[in-house]
Chain A
């Protein structure tokens, strides 16, 4: 076997081996949770280094053309690895005792699953990666074994399984019609000739993805799960596993099913508009911060879905001069915008959920009420100044205030809608951004304007490290977005003819 040939996949291999090793070591050495955490950290950093050394990879195919390493897969892998890295750093402050080895092993398996999804160009490989990530996160959602955890995990599991089943059924129809599981072959077959079966297949595939992406009306599980799961796992779910849905949907819809784009793009236009509006409205009425973040995450999924609409509307359009980037087709700009927002949102949400973990840790010791209730955030600025400041930046970034990562993603994405003649969608999205400020501002006003509900506390070192790194990254992307825009553009071009 040519070892060097597989060099682009060493990251996945490394993390898989590491996960197995951690499980083995964990059963031999009790109470070595901290060590496992550092091992995972080292593994993820190494994998991230591998991805970073080859960011805009030339497409290379592996394993009988089922895995492709290209700029798009590298982009998503970078996002997933960064999220996992941040979660691991934060977890070093929480998961150190008994059972921590399982936690880190599951986290690594989930990461590997997501990485496989981002590289898959075959629906079976894609499904395997999808399930690897899903099954690992189902277990993680119940990891603290509180009553809330179990409820959250149960909901997540049931909805997730149904979504997987629907998706698999859609895939089986595609396979039945075309005789191939490869995305390229499915694209080559003239799907239109199969009549209603095509529509059914399309419907199942979209609904399956929509569950994972938490688009309205398939979002009901998200607030319950993000609220009930351990906060660090919520970070992984909202920032990582949800983005996996987008990674899969990009590949399947834009490569395999692009011939049917006229059928799916209006569906996505409606889904996007409804999702962002409903998500933002619902978030305004919540009192639980993690539910607010969950609904905000639903709304962000609505923004990101604009990317699909733009591609559907402008697929194959002639390049136009966009900004000062030279000639780009509008569809490329749309995908690039969606990718930028995925990157930005992954960072902002990871940070925000780690912030809630910090607060929940401050409360649960002393009080009986809901640790995520917004009243616990009163006076956070004086109780935990670093956490409060980072949360402040994340809230502004989520609302899309410049110069932050949230702003640049929205800017490129909404611009692409304008370039492809979807000004109405861009206007709805911008109005939604204004609306979202209501609930972000509410959290800020609790943190900074209300009298503190308790004394100053020592902030957990791991949380603080993760928060500060994330905050700096969010600001960095916003202030120097040039390289990121070009990177996202290169990744987007993989999906286009």
Chain B
């Protein structure tokens, strides 16, 4: 048992970020070491993690600002821990993928580490104040990554990203304050403690339904913008297209997951107490996101924008699964978060590699690249297959669980998704792949060669992970299942729904 594992996991990359900043061209080595620590720690935690326990594990709690009731409390359960693991895996792979960065490498790697600090903090904080600080910390490195290393319209994209998501965070903050100012501890004080406040929302005498509806809407907005769900997704394509590859990977793989994490950690415990219309609204938003994202992806000329819209679509499954309320759909949605987190890395890395090897990402201008870069083509193909839901890879398991689970409670919505998006998703993936990589090679690409080994290595690692979790989802869904049962408990007493599941 490692003492203070979570704090160390947050502190080491933070220290690494400072060191990288002053390390000049050696920054990448510092970054690699600093991001190795959370990976090792999280693997160690995985070994020690009690997958059947419903309570928070590895909890640390210290007074921080006693007069305001702010504590430094961190801990993980089946909701948070898979995402901690995901953050540790993705962060180190992104750093390896970016090994060749030569433009201000010290700042670049420092920002990537700072980003890791932020997301790890979000996934482990059990105090709303701390949670909000980490939530905001994440914005800053991403703002600079887009703004300093981005494409032609980077300034616009960076500022749009920052303002859009910051305004949503402020709405969320207002809702947090409403929770904070409404609930009084038994001693007559105030607290930001997340679990205490969430438990209190079930008490109608403290939180009347009208007030709770407003609070709920505020929190929901904060998370839906981050996910992003239709119609709050408009910042995402701009941010993705302009961001450097590592920025896009981190954005899609980790930052979007913060929204999904909020759904499970904060939104679901409140659902039984709020107006039932919210369930319908969220389900509609989820379905529109899935279908709209898929169709928008089909219409894109830029391969990176295609991948960006596919994220909107895939994240819609998370929302759908969460709101469908069955054990299987909730577990599936949590797994979709993890699975999309790893798979999307390959997609963005592929888009980034094509961009810097060939010089363009416009699908129509590409063709026959597989001829010159076969290894890359195999990995990209595997990634696209994983993303479209090829059985045997993690994406299939997750989406299958969500759809099957949702069918029990939301059959009409589910059927809509199945009919309109599953085929479309396959279509845009295959079409992009076929057009960009296969067919006769264009003359101008005769000199194209395989990308660097470190890029291929990162992509290969992710394919391997997707296969492992596709064939043995129990490795991670066990703890998610426990968490889902935990999350579902108040919901089920209300909706009188039986537990389906136990398929895997």
Asked if A321 contacts B184 (CB within 8 A), the reply is yes
Assuming the contacts A323-B69, A324-B190, asked whether A449 and B166 have C-beta atoms less than 8 A apart, the reply is: no
Residue B167 lies at the interface, judged by CB distance under 8 Å to chain A: yes
Asked if A438 contacts B133 (CB within 8 A), the reply is no
Interchain nearest-CB distance for A444 vs B (Å) = 8
Determine the residue in chain A with the shortest Cβ distance to B139.
Answer: A401
Asked if B65 contacts A481 (CB within 8 A), the reply is yes
Q: Which of A415, A433, A486 contacts B170 (CB 8 A)?
A: A433
Instruction: Give the interface size class of chain B.
Output: 20 to 34
Interface residues of B in 342-385 (CB under 8 A from A): none
Asked if A441 contacts B68 (CB within 8 A), the reply is no
Q: Which residues of B contact A144 (CB under 8 A)?
A: none
Q: Which of A401, A430, A438, A445 contacts B147 (CB 8 A)?
A: A445
Interchain nearest-CB distance for A187 vs B (Å) = 31
The CA of A161 and the CA of B134, in the complex, are separated in Å by: 48
Q: Interface code A35-77, partner B: CB below 8 Å = 1, 0 otherwise?
A: 0000000000000000000000000000000000000000000
The CA of A445 and the CA of B181, in the complex, are separated in Å by: 35
Determine the residue in chain B with the shortest Cβ distance to A435.
Answer: B167
A-B CB contacts (within 8 Å), total count: 69
Q: Which residues of B contact A465 (CB under 8 A)?
A: none
The CA of A433 and the CA of B170, in the complex, are separated in Å by: 9
Instruction: Give the interface size class of chain A.
Output: 20 to 34
Asked if B158 contacts A449 (CB within 8 A), the reply is yes
Interface residues of B in 75-111 (CB under 8 A from A): none
Residue A31 lies at the interface, judged by CB distance under 8 Å to chain B: no
Determine the residue in chain B with the shortest Cβ distance to A411.
Answer: B68
Assuming the contacts A418-B181, A448-B147, asked whether A323 and B158 have C-beta atoms less than 8 A apart, the reply is: no
Residue A402 lies at the interface, judged by CB distance under 8 Å to chain B: yes
Determine the residue in chain A with the shortest Cβ distance to B170.
Answer: A434
Asked if B148 contacts A402 (CB within 8 A), the reply is no
Q: Interface code B173-201, partner A: CB below 8 Å = 1, 0 otherwise?
A: 11001000100100011110000000000
Asked if A449 contacts B162 (CB within 8 A), the reply is no
Asked if A482 contacts B166 (CB within 8 A), the reply is no
The CA of A323 and the CA of B67, in the complex, are separated in Å by: 6
Asked if A321 contacts B188 (CB within 8 A), the reply is yes
The CA of A449 and the CA of B104, in the complex, are separated in Å by: 13
Q: Which residues of A contact B148 (CB under 8 A)?
A: 448-449
Interchain nearest-CB distance for B320 vs A (Å) = 31
The CA of A260 and the CA of B167, in the complex, are separated in Å by: 39
Residue B154 lies at the interface, judged by CB distance under 8 Å to chain A: yes
Assuming the contacts A402-B133, A449-B148, asked whether A324 and B158 have C-beta atoms less than 8 A apart, the reply is: no
Asked if B167 contacts A434 (CB within 8 A), the reply is yes
Interface residues of A in 296-331 (CB under 8 A from B): 321-325
Tell me the dominant secondary structure on chain B's binding face: helix
Q: Which residues of A contact B190 (CB under 8 A)?
A: 321-324
Residue A485 lies at the interface, judged by CB distance under 8 Å to chain B: yes
Asked if B67 contacts A448 (CB within 8 A), the reply is no
Asked if A482 contacts B136 (CB within 8 A), the reply is no
Q: Which residues of B contact A403 (CB under 8 A)?
A: 133
Residue B60 lies at the interface, judged by CB distance under 8 Å to chain A: no
Residue A428 lies at the interface, judged by CB distance under 8 Å to chain B: no
Residue B494 lies at the interface, judged by CB distance under 8 Å to chain A: no
Residue of A403, A415, A485 most packed against chain B (CB within 10 A): A403
Interchain nearest-CB distance for A326 vs B (Å) = 8
Residue B66 lies at the interface, judged by CB distance under 8 Å to chain A: yes
Asked if B174 contacts A430 (CB within 8 A), the reply is yes
Q: Which residues of A contact B191 (CB under 8 A)?
A: 324
Asked if A445 contacts B155 (CB within 8 A), the reply is yes
Interchain nearest-CB distance for B180 vs A (Å) = 9
Interchain nearest-CB distance for A280 vs B (Å) = 14
Q: Which residues of A contact B129 (CB under 8 A)?
A: 402
The CA of A441 and the CA of B133, in the complex, are separated in Å by: 18
The CA of A490 and the CA of B144, in the complex, are separated in Å by: 41
Interchain nearest-CB distance for B121 vs A (Å) = 12
Interchain nearest-CB distance for A94 vs B (Å) = 29
Asked if A449 contacts B189 (CB within 8 A), the reply is no
Residue A437 lies at the interface, judged by CB distance under 8 Å to chain B: yes
Asked if A449 contacts B147 (CB within 8 A), the reply is yes
Residue B132 lies at the interface, judged by CB distance under 8 Å to chain A: yes
The CA of A415 and the CA of B129, in the complex, are separated in Å by: 15
Q: Which residues of A contact B471 (CB under 8 A)?
A: none
The CA of A482 and the CA of B71, in the complex, are separated in Å by: 12
Interchain nearest-CB distance for A360 vs B (Å) = 24
Q: Which residues of A contact B154 (CB under 8 A)?
A: 449
Determine the residue in chain B with the shortest Cβ distance to A489.
Answer: B67
Identify 23 residue pairs between A and B in the complex whose beta-carbon atoms are under 8 Å apart, listed by A's number: A322-B190, A324-B67, A324-B68, A324-B69, A324-B190, A324-B191, A401-B136, A402-B132, A402-B136, A403-B133, A418-B177, A418-B181, A430-B170, A441-B159, A442-B159, A445-B158, A449-B154, A449-B155, A450-B155, A481-B65, A481-B68, A482-B65, A482-B66
**A-to-B contact residues, CB < 8 Å:** 321-325, 401-403, 411, 415, 418, 427, 430, 433-434, 437-438, 441-442, 445, 448-450, 480-482, 485-486
Knowing that A323-B190, A430-B174, A434-B170 are A-B contacts, what are 17 other residue pairs whose CB atoms are under 8 Å apart, sorted by A's residue number? A321-B189, A324-B189, A324-B190, A402-B136, A427-B174, A433-B170, A434-B166, A437-B166, A441-B163, A448-B147, A449-B154, A450-B155, A481-B65, A481-B67, A485-B67, A485-B68, A486-B67
